[in-house]
Amino acid sequence: MPDLHKVARALISVSDKTGLIDLGRALSERGIEILSTGGSAKALRDEGIAVKDVAEVTEFPEMMDGRVKTLHPRIHGGLLALRDNADHMASMQGHAIPEIDLLVVNLYPFEETVAKGADYETCIENIDIGGPAMIRAAAKNHAFVNVVTDIADYAPLLAELDANDGATSYAFRQKLALTAYARTGAYDAAVSTWMAGALGDEAPRRRAFAGEIAQTLRYGENPHQKAAFYRDGSDRPGVASAVQHQGKELSYNNINDTDAAFELVSEFLPSDGPACAIIKHANPCGVARGATLREAYQKAFDCDRTSAFGGIVALNMKLDMETAEAITEIFTEVVIAPGADDAAKEVFAKKKNLRLLTTSGLANTAEPGLAYRQVSGGFLVQDKDNGLITLDDLKVVTKKQPTEDELRDLLFAWKVAKHVKSNAIVYVKDGATVGVGAGQMSRVDSALIAAKKSERMAEALGLPEALTKGSAVASDAFFPFADGLLEAAAAGATTVIQPGGSMRDNEVIAAADEAGLAMVFTGMRHFRH
């Protein structure tokens, strides 16, 4: 098998016709015969580019509304025949099968059709059959055949042809084949995932996930780990679809933390007022609402100023100059918001290493979806935690009733606790976190750590007492014993929100009554490991 193989004939059949005319003209100018189908052939011919219809080769017309056009031995034989195999070449000659050296195919827009909310029948009609079949055939025979499935490869293809006098190298064809198999794999994954949802199959026998490269990363969580970032093709606002305006490339940890920050701040609708979340190592170190965005940032910052240094800031509305100025007073890695005005961008422009990302809006935290995690030998799949608790869902279980202000803080604390690593304890006062305990093996330790952090911040701010005094406290899961709740009471909490459901609920409720606490149960927990 020679390294270089000349391209004499190409088959082009594309759904997305971006760049088609330029590619067709460039191939024709290089003396390459073009075979094509349907709309692709018409588009090329309308621009004066010589094209031979696939139907002329197969001697069969397109039929069944275009479902059958390339599924024919004279097409697949031309893609699959080994050029250095005498029997294969004899079969081609005996059956008038032309060699096809280049296949250019992009598939029916199935993913886009699903994203638009099309009905079942429309989605089915947008499942490509002939395209994937040809792609897989050409990719298998990459020893001789080039297969291009991505518009981004048009320019490299032409450059390769020019560099090799109309031929391509084996290494180049191998790379195209790899991209091609990944594309058909992603396509099949999209179809199977959609169909599982359409049929209501929550645990299909096989699961497939796919993504498209967004960027290669300098390294992963640590410098010795290689890493890359992939998009899943959805249009969900967030770090994957955000526009980066300045600063160096995002790292693995930046992306992970920015995602955590934006998902958290998206819990707070702009209609309920400005909100800010500051994240460090995927855990919130401060979350707050305010009368202005700047006030929300300041209140979030004042929860834990030490941890906020070098953190990620997420905002629930368009970034303004005043907030930008406050943020730049300390070192911040990334700021993400649904927009930023020109004045804010000018402020950030003075901080070259600060990354500013803007999104098209907030993420819909109630939206259904899947979350998955790798384990040794497999992976776990579950629904995203989109559980929502409202005032009507709360059950008061103590003698003391929470006040209206306390109920607001309880629900605020509950939303934050959903995004804190378990065991999670979150103290909130006046619409701002004042203590966060995360990721401890004991819920008692989380309560103690959060309270201690609040005490230290009070000292730093020159306050007479910790802000946990008179606060609402949320626990992401039930208190198995009364000890954790009593630590929260000792820190000054006056009201508690927790799921309930412990076999010792009665003991915990009795302890709350004795301590003079108001407590509500949600009936829902928010473990986040």
Kindly state the tokens that stand for 214.
């967004």
Q: 418 catalytic, yes or no?
A: no
Helical H segments across 418-523, by residue range: 443-461, 482-490, 505-515
- 52, 140, 175, 452: the catalytic one is 140
Q: How far apart are CA 283 and CA 297, in angstroms?
A: 16
Helical H segments across 130-202, by residue range: 130-140, 154-163, 170-199
- 281, 351, 400, 469: the catalytic one is 281
* Nearest in space to 183 (alpha carbons), one of 128, 120, 254: 128
Integer angstrom CA distances of residue 145 from 5, 74, 172, 178: 8, 15, 10, 13
Cα first-last separation, the chain: 53
What's the one-letter identity of residue 241?
S
- Whether the CB-CB separation of 126 and 80 falls below 8 Å is answered with no
Kindly state the tokens that stand for 260.
């955590």
Q: How far apart are CA 500 and CA 475, in angstroms?
A: 10
- Whether the CB-CB separation of 301 and 456 falls below 8 Å is answered with no
DSSP class of residue 151 equals G
Max distance between CA atoms of the chain, in angstroms, equals 95
Opening angle at CA 135, ends 77 and 50, nearest 5? 75
Kindly state the tokens that stand for 439.
């990721």
Backbone torsions φ then ψ of 53, nearest 5 degrees = -70, 140
Residue found by looking up tokens 């606490």 in the block: 517
Residues with catalytic function: 140, 281
